[in-house]
Amino acid sequence: MKVVVFDFDGTLTVKGTNVWREIWYRLGYDVGENSYYKELYNKYMDKEINYKQWCALTCKAFQDRNFNKKILDEIVSSIKVMKGVKELFDELYNKGVEINIVSGNILDAIEYVLKDESKYINEIKANDFVFDDNGNLISINGTDYDYEGKAKYIEKIASRLNISTKDIYYVGNSANDEYVYLSGAKTICINPDETKTDDINVWNTIIEIDDLKDLSHLLK
């Protein structure tokens, strides 16, 4: 095994803060079942809008309520990293394993939360918030690598390193990781959250852990 790709939310972090949902909420929007927030999610899932459109419409709603970097920083500071991340990354890194992160979260948030682990990480793919000098949101550059895109990302790594996708492990926890198996990567689900746990193809291994170091015997 040469590469491990990790999801971020609920995989490298303790299940809890949903940054996107929290922003909507902090800006005074309803986040219930009949909210615009949910409507956009459902439209994306029903393929009425694509990921970039989802991000653009979200950006507009955030701008309408003067969303800024300060609010993001406050939300991000409440995210709790999983126990054992540093130990696992250190072990993998010292074995020469490449560590990448592919997430539907926000680049600034991931970099902040994993600032002590940054030296171990080869690459992070996530959504990118662009702020002006005053911290006001200018745009949201949606990632190409969420949902189906996560499988595309695995294929991209395999082709860059000229290895088989079978030599790549993917560690995730939820519905937006369910496409990864289509790439051929080995999939491990930790602490499953709203994902298919009865399909051995989608998730090759499923485990409940509270210390990421417990993954180390599976990653070889």
Residues within the interface to Mg ion (CB under 5 A): 7, 9-10, 173-174
Q: Which residue has the tokens 């602490």?
A: 191
Q: Which is nearer to Mg ion, 9 or 117 (CB)?
A: 9
Q: Which is nearer to Mg ion, 174 or 187 (CB)?
A: 174
Q: How far is CA 154 from CA 144, 159, 167, 208, 215, in A?
A: 12, 9, 10, 24, 20
- Angle between the 51-64 and 36-45 helix axes, to the nearest 10 degrees? 170
193 Cβ contact list (under 8 Å, min separation 6): 10, 15, 173, 174
The single-letter code of the amino acid at 32 is G
Residue 195 beta carbon to Mg ion: minimum distance, rounded to whole angstroms:
9
Residue 7 beta carbon to Mg ion: minimum distance, rounded to whole angstroms:
4
Q: Which is nearer to Mg ion, 37 or 147 (CB)?
A: 147
Residue 53 beta carbon to Mg ion: minimum distance, rounded to whole angstroms:
22
As a whole number of angstroms, the distance between CA 171 and CA 133 comes to: 36
Residue 138 beta carbon to Mg ion: minimum distance, rounded to whole angstroms:
27
Phi and psi torsions of 127, nearest 5°: -75, 145
Q: Which is nearer to Mg ion, 137 or 146 (CB)?
A: 146
Residue 20 beta carbon to Mg ion: minimum distance, rounded to whole angstroms:
12
Give the containing element (helix H, strand E) for 116: none
Q: Which is nearer to Mg ion, 7 or 146 (CB)?
A: 7
